Each structure stands twice: as structure tokens, then as C-alpha cells.
């Protein structure tokens, strides 16, 4: 806890961001830094709550010791706070920027007051740690002789690599893209998570002894396609390695490939040009930003400049498409969401400490409202057809829609019905599909005996993480389905523990 009476004395104050009008001019990270006194005051709001639900099953997936480091920040003991933070989270600089903070949704103070600004404090602790030079490489003193291959360099793969390397195993991480980081590098735009922050941690892991191999796709067989038949395609990797070859060279293999198979919208006109999956748009944009230099002018592979843009899908990925389109200089932007608008406060069937399913205005929505004068979201709307542009029969020019209504049937299940007379056509020079992901791509599976679960994820029980192939484990979104960065870190850490136990007969990893 912080100050015993702090929650009664101080109001919640989040870290301010750069104004929307200013930040849409570039792809620089828009998080502002604040005085230490501000953070100490916010840490003082942490209550002596008895049971800290912030680190319970409904709170932080990595079991961050939140009350402890809030108290240490309040007392100005920052280095100790950093040590407590790193005990449970390998990458607080990532979660402090992009996590939706389920810990704050479960904060005990949140029952009657706005919760503690846990996410802001977490980011401040680790940023201070890097600024003060407290975070340095810590390679293991001895090596076990065991070799582990990790397929995928997103948060799950990197967390597992950090943990396994720390106990002396030799870890090689394979990534099919040209840069390490997976979702952290190419799935999240730079203004939300600066890639220099990602690279800083990757360089630290390399200095500790982790080996990184880019431009390499791991496939089920030597002739399996490394690209999805229907989905987002990366530039062809320089080489392919069959999974069987990895199994022969390494003592264990961890699959951490993510859930990168996008949900399609198969309606009339889908084959028109100008309709893109979200990750095709976001990946290409971030690559162009990095190739040119973060603060330099660049030409994106897919540009929204001077276009009427429609983003279909209301989650984080959709918001990232909105923010990226605004920075390109789009002419207009509308965001379609099939589901109803969430309530402003918790509903009766959504009690504390469960995650509050309420209306949130994210950075992209703020930017559209500031530039164009209105929130871009349209709820309970269904896209029915993509229409060609006048004079350009091969390119999208509009989207035909209908409004929908959600009602419970006799079994209590919500059913969607279309509302007659609500048809409307929206102009669209570009459509971005951000409707979520269906699981991992199947290139790793083809030609192998790797079992899948009913949702087409790699089958591996949570807690054991072992797949149907001996010595092969799975963690993160490729095992659990599309989820949060913090859950991927959780699974990477726990899978590392099970791999260590598998190799050594026992484990000291947390």
C-alpha cells in the first residue's frame, strides 16, 4: 500500500498525452513524462485493502506485486520498486504502454472511486530503471548444455527466451520477419510503442546470450507454404526450416507463433482492390517508418492519404488502423462495430472485480474527434457489400450497410436481426478489416502430427504447455487464441518453467 489515507486525499490523475492535433503529425510515441512527485502521489492512493484483487485471477495475469511497488514509489525507493516489478514481469516497458490494465479493473479502490493509476506507475518505474542505468545485461554464470529453439519472437517467445536463458540453457529464437519482436515490433504502431523501446530490450537479451535468427520460417515440412493461403502475407522469408529439423537439432522446441490468421469478411465485392487486412496495413506502415527512420519522412506501402477510410472492427487493432490512417492524412474515417455500444458504467451482470465492459475512448477515437469533429464509431452496423468506384470497376468505392439489433432468444442467447429500412451506403476509397484473428497459420502443422484444438489453435494444456509432439511446447496466442500482451508474457514464463522441468527433472523458475 501507499499512504494509509492517500486514497481519501488524492484524486486519480493519469499521465497526460500529447494533444491529438499535435500527435497526428508524426509517428512518435505520444506518452508524456511527468514529475516524480505526481507519480508518488498516485502511488499513495494504493489502499491497505487486505486482499489485493489487482494481482488476483481477475487482475494482473503475471501476478505483479502491485501494492508493494506502489508503496516503494510513494516512498521514493525506485530501485527497489524496479526489482519487485522485474520479479514477475520481464517486459514492464511493454505492458506499461499497451496493456489495457485488467489490474485497474480489479483495483479495490475502484469499487467506490477511480482506481489507482497502476499502468502509469509501472511504466514510470521501468523507464526510470533504464534512464538511471540500473537495467544491464545479466548473462548466466554457467550453461547447462541444453539447447532450445523458440519459434516466434513476440511477447510469449521473448519472455520464454529470457527465462530459459537465465537458468543457463542456450536459446535460439527464430523469426520469419526481418526484425525481431513479432507483435511488439510490427503489430503495434510506433506512436503507441516506440520500436526503440522494443529494440532496447532485444539488445539486452542478445547481450545476455540469446541468439536471434530473422528471415526464417519454420514449417511442417520442407515444401510447406510459409505464407497463409488466405490472410496476411509477409515478404517471403529468406529460408524455411522444417519443424522436424529443429526437433533433431534442439533438446526442446517452443512454438510461440501468435494468432496471425485474420478473420475475413466474405461479402460481395471482397475481391475489389483497396480492401486490406489490418495487419497488412499496420505491418507495412511500421516497416516503412523503421526503414526510413522514426522521425523521418517515409512512403507507406499502403497509404490512407486523401482517402475516405472505413475500419471494420472495434478492438485495439481497429483503433491502431484509425490512428495510422489519421497520421497518413485521410479525408474521412468511419469505424464500424457490429455489437451494441457498451454502457458508460458497469452493468448489473458485470460486477467488480471482473473486467469492466464499458465504453472506452482510445487514442485513435480521440484523434478523429479532434480533427473531424465527431467520434468515428458506428455501433450495431453490418457491412453487406463492397461497391466498386465510379469509373474504377476493380477498386472499392463504397460500402453498403444495414443497421442491426441484438435480442435474446428463448434460450437466453443474443441473436442479431437486420432492421428493414436502415440501409445506407458509405463512401470508401480504402477498407481495413480489423475483426480479430482465428488462430495460428497452418504452415507449421502441414505434414506434421501436431494436434489442434477445436478452435484450430495448437493443442497444449495450460500449465503444462506440452503439445502432441514429444519435446514440443506451445505458448501465447497460438495456444490460447487471440489475447493480450500480458497474457502472452504469462504463458511464455510458465512454458519456460515446464520446458526447464522437462529438460532438467526439476525447475527453479517462478
Alpha helices per DSSP H over 101-147: 102-105, 118-131
Asked if domains 6-131 and 147-261+438-504 share a fold, the reply is no
Helix (H, G, I), strand (E, B) or coil at 406: strand
What residues does each domain of the chain span? Answer: 6-131, 147-261+438-504, 275-433
CA distance 330 to 341: 25
Contact 444, 220 (CB under 8 A): yes
CA distance 453 to 451: 7
Pairing status of strand 381-389 against strand 392-408: antiparallel
Q: What is the pLDDT of residue 229?
A: 45
At residue 446 the predicted structure's pLDDT band, cuts being 50, 70 and 90, is: confident
Cell for 39? 507519480
CA distance 28 to 293: 11
Residue 446, CA distances (Å) to 242, 325, 380, 465, 473 in order: 10, 36, 38, 20, 17
Check pLDDT > 70 for residue 378.
yes
Pairing status of strand 211-213 against strand 170-174: parallel
Dihedral sign for Cα 430, 27, 379, 316, please.
Answer: positive
Residue 275, CA distances (Å) to 108, 388, 418, 431 in order: 44, 11, 24, 5
CA distance 144 to 80: 30
Helix (H, G, I), strand (E, B) or coil at 188: coil
CATH architecture of 275-433: 3-Layer(bba) Sandwich (3.50)
Helix (H, G, I), strand (E, B) or coil at 394: strand
Pairing status of strand 392-408 against strand 424-427: antiparallel
Cell for 475? 505458448
Please state which CATH number belongs to domain 6-131.
Answer: 1.10.1060.10
At residue 223 the predicted structure's pLDDT band, cuts being 50, 70 and 90, is: low
* pLDDT tens-digit readout, 165-192: 999 999 999 999 999 999 999 999 999 9
Superfamily classification of domain 147-261+438-504: FAD/NAD(P)-binding domain (3.50.50.60)
Task: Tell me the pTM.
Answer: 0.94
* pLDDT tens-digit readout, 225-258: 544 444 455 556 778 999 999 999 999 999 999 9
* pLDDT tens-digit readout, 416-445: 999 999 999 999 999 999 999 999 998 888
**Is there a cis peptide before residue 353, judged by omega within 30 degrees of 0?**
yes
Amino acid at each position: 500500500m501507499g499512504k494509509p489515507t492517500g486514497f481519501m486525499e488524492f484524486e486519480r490523475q493519469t499521465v497526460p498525452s500529447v494533444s491529438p492535433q499535435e500527435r497526428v503529425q508524426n509517428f512518435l510515441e505520444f506518452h508524456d513524462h511527468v514529475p516524480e512527485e505526481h507519480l508518488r502521489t498516485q502511488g499513495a492512493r494504493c489502499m491497505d485493502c487486505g486482499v489485493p484483487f489487482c494481482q488476483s485471477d481477475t487482475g494482473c495475469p503475471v501476478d505483479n506485486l502491485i501494492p508493494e511497488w506502489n508503496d516503494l514509489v510513494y516512498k521514493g525507493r525506485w530501485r527497489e520498486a524496479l526489482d519487485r516489478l522485474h520479479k514477475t514481469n520481464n517486459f514492464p516497458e511493454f505492458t506499461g504502454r499497451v496493456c489495457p490494465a485488467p489490474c485497474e479493473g480489479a483495483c479495490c479502490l475502484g469499487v467506490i472511486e477511480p482506481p489507482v493509476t497502476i499502468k502509469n506507475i509501472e511504466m514510470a518505474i521501468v523507464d526510470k530503471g533504464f534512464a538511471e542505468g540500473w537495467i544491464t545485461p545479466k548473462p548466466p554464470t554457467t550453461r547447462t548444455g541444453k539447447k532450445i529453439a523458440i519459434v516466434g519472437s513476440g511477447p510469449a517467445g521473448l519472455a520464454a527466451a529470457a527465462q530459459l536463458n537465465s537458468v543457463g540453457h542456450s536459446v535460439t529464437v527464430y523469426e520469419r520477419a526481418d526484425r525481431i519482436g513479432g507483435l511488439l515490433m510490427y503489430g503495434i504502431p510506433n506512436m503507441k510503442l516506440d520500436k526503440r523501446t522494443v529494440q532496447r530490450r532485444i539488445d539486452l537479451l542478445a547481450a545476455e546470450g540469446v541468439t536471434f535468427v530473422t528471415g526464417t520460417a519454420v514449417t511442417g515440412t520442407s515444401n510447406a507454404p510459409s505464407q497463409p493461403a488466405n490472410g496476411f502475407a509477409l515478404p517471403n522469408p529468406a529460408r524455411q526450416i522444417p519443424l522436424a529439423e529443429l526437433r533433431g537439432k534442439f533438446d526442446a522446441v517452443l512454438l510461440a507463433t501468435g494468432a496471425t490468421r485474420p478473420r475475413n469478411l466474405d461479402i460481395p465485392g471482397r475481391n475489389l482492390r483497396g480492401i486490406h487486412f489490418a495487419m497488412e496495413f499496420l505491418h507495412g506502415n511500421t516497416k516503412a517508418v523503421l526503414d526510413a527512420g522514426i522521425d523521418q519522412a517515409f512512403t507507406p506501402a499502403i497509404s490512407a492519404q486523401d482517402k475516405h477510410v472505413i475500419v471494420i472492427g472495434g478492438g485495439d487493432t481497429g483503433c491502431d488502423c484509425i490512428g495510422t490512417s489519421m497520421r497518413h492524412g485521410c479525408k474521412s474515417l468511419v469505424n464500424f462495430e457490429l455489437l451494441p455500444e457498451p454502457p458508460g458504467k458497469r452493468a448489473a451482470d458485470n460486477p467488480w472485480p471482473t473486467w469492466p465492459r464499458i465504453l472506452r475512448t482510445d487514442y485513435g477515437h480521440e484523434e478523429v474527434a479532434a480533427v473531424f469533429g465527431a467520434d468515428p464509431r458506428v455501433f450495431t452496423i453490418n457491412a453487406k457489400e463492397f461497391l466498386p468506384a465510379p469509373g474504377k470497376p476493380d477498386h472499392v468505392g463504397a460500402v453498403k450497410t444495414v443497421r442491426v439489433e441484438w435480442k435474446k432468444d428463448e434460450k437466453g442467447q443474443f441473436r442479431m436481426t437486420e432492421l428493414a429500412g436502415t440501409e445506407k451506403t458509405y463512401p470508401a476509397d480504402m477498407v481495413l478489416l480489423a475483426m480479430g484473428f482465428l488462430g495460428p497459420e497452418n504452415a507449421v502443422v502441414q505434414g506434421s502430427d501436431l494436434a489442434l484444438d477445436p478452435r484450430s489453435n495448437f493443442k497444449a494444456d495450460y500449465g503444462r504447455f506440452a503439445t502432441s509432439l514429444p519435446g514440443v511446447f506451445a505458448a501465447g496466442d497460438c495456444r490460447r487464441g487471440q489475447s493480450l500482451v500480458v497474457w502472452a508474457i504469462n504463458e511464455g514464463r510458465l512454458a519456460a518453467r515446464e520446458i526447464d522441468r522437462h529438460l532438467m527433472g526439476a525447475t527453479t523458475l517462478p
